[in-house]
């Protein structure tokens, strides 16, 4: 069977020659799933513009859904740089080229536009969260897309679940996240919610070593794979926090430390608190 190739939606090229920069707000708004803006990147682009060394003046947009004419899917740093150059350098006009997409899923267009750029798993998750997916809605009281105080990043709990279900030490690939989220069950969500209610009783400081992926993923996996009471998990967590061996392995901060920590919990830490834990596989 011939493989079906994704074809991008139709796009119209629009030239905004000598565009009046005072009309930026009138013309452009950012998609609410865009990445956070980097001030350093904005300043770098603005300086390049003023030195006549910036050539990428193309913005990828679709028709605006609020008050502006266009919603920006790719190019927010360029717009912020133009805004900065206008305010601090007195730049009044600039030539802009628009690729205006017609039809298609805006979030999917955004993700595909950024395939060659360093979109993180957190960026992909934010783009997927359209307010309709059960995983995000059910976990919203416990998770956030970045590092909001009192909440765990979605990417962290996603990688904990992926490790538990796949037994692979490798994190979930960003472009495989769509299918993985579709496969999350009601049982998975319940376990994640119970775990995140339990976690603050074990480690309250999100900067502690306990939150590093080598330890966090294993602690969650133990909870996922075994019918373990909260009291026993809290006791286990206390053993892990005070273990010099766990600290030594976790500080290596490499994927191979995951295997060592998993076996240490099963063979040594678990029995110390009266837990007989099932031992699974740890794949590369």
Which pLDDT tens digit goes with each residue over 215-254? 999 999 999 999 889 999 999 999 999 999 998 888 877 7
For residue 52, is it left (φ>0), alpha (ψ between -120 and 50) or beta?
left
**What integer is the mean pLDDT of 158-176?**
88
Burial 198-211 (b: 16+ CB within 10 A, else e): bbeebbeebeebbe
Sequence-distant (6+) residues with CB within 8 A of 220 are 157, 160, 161, 163, 164, 195
Domains and CATH numbers, the chain: 11-110 (3.90.1530.10), 120-272 (no CATH)
Residue 112 has pLDDT above 90, yes or no: no
- Percentage above 70 pLDDT, the chain: 92
pTM of the predicted model over 0.95: no
Q: Which residue matches tokens 């309709």?
A: 132
Of the listed ranges 13-22, 31-40, 216-225, the one predicted with least confidence: 31-40
Q: Which residue matches tokens 């859904």?
A: 65
- Pull the structure tokens for residue 34: 């865009």
Mean pLDDT, the chain, rounded, equals: 87
Which pLDDT belongs to residue 184?
A: 96
Q: How far apart are CA 62 and CA 27, in angstroms?
A: 11
Residue 2 has pLDDT above 70, yes or no: no
Instruction: Pick the more confident residue, 151 or 117.
Output: 151
Which pLDDT tens digit goes with each residue over 77-106? 999 999 999 999 999 999 999 999 886 678
* Beta pairing partners, 216: none
- Pull the structure tokens for residue 74: 């790719």
Q: Is residue 80 within 8 Å of 43, Cβ to Cβ? A: no
Q: Is residue 45 within 8 Å of 81, Cβ to Cβ? A: yes
Which pLDDT belongs to residue 94?
A: 96
**What integer is the mean pLDDT of 136-160?**
91
Which pLDDT belongs to residue 1?
A: 55
Which 3-state string (H, E, C) describes the chain?
Answer: CCCCCCCCCCEEEEEEEEEEHHHHHHHEEECCCCCCCCHHHHHHHHHHHHCCCCCCCEEEEEECCCCCCEEEEECHHHHHHHHHHHHHHCCCEEEEEEEEECCCCHHHHHHHHCCCCCCCHHHHHHHHCCCCCHHHHHHCCCEECCCCCCCEEHHHHHHHHHHHHHCECCCCCHHHHHHHHHCCCHHHHHHHHHHHHHHHHCCCCCCCHHHCHHHHHHHHHHHHHCCCCHHHHHHHHHHHHCCHHHHHHHHCCCHHHHHHHHHHHHHHHHHHCCCCCCCCCCEC
Question: How far does Cα 145 stand from its chain's mean position?
Answer: 6
What's the chain's Rg over C-alpha atoms?
A: 23
**What integer is the mean pLDDT of 23-32?**
90
Which pLDDT tens digit goes with each residue over 61-77? 988 666 678 989 889 99
Q: How far apart are CA 241 and CA 211, in angstroms?
A: 11
Which pLDDT tens digit goes with each residue over 168-223? 888 888 778 888 999 999 999 999 999 999 999 998 777 777 888 889 999 999 99
What are the φ/ψ torsions at residue 4 (nearest 5 degrees)?
Answer: -80, 125
Strands 93-101 and 11-20, how do they pair? Answer: antiparallel
């Amino acid at each position: 069977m011939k493989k079906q190739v994704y074809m991008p939606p139709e796009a119209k090229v629009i030239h905004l020659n000598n565009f009046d920069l005072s009309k930026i707000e009138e013309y452009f708004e950012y998609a609410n799933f865009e990445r956070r803006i980097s001030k350093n990147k904005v300043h770098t682009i603005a300086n390049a513009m003023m030195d006549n060394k910036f050539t990428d003046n193309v913005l990828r947009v679709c028709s605006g859904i609020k008050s502006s004419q266009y919603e920006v899917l790719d190019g927010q740093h360029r717009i912020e740089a133009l805004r900065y150059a206008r305010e601090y350098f007195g730049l009044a006009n600039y030539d802009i080229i628009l690729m205006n997409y017609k039809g298609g899923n805006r979030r999917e267009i955004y993700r595909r536009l950024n395939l060659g750029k360093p979109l993180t798993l957190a960026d992909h998750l934010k783009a997927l969260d359209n307010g309709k997916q059960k995983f995000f809605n059910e976990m919203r009281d416990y998770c956030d897309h970045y590092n909001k105080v009192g909440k765990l990043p979605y990417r962290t709990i996603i990688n904990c679940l992926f490790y538990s279900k796949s037994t692979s030490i490798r994190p979930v690939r960003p472009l495989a996240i769509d299918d993985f989220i579709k496969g999350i069950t009601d049982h998975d969500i319940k376990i994640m919610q119970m775990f995140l209610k339990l976690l603050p009783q074990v480690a309250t400081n999100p900067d502690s070593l306990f939150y590093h992926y080598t330890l966090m993923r294993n602690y969650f996996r133990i909870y996922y794979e075994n019918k373990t009471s909260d009291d026993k998990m809290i006791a286990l967590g206390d053993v892990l926090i005070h273990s010099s061996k766990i600290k030594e392995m976790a500080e290596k901060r490499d994927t191979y430390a995951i295997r060592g920590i998993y076996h240490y919990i099963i063979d040594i830490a678990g029995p110390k608190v009266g837990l007989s834990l099932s031992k699974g596989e740890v794949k590369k």
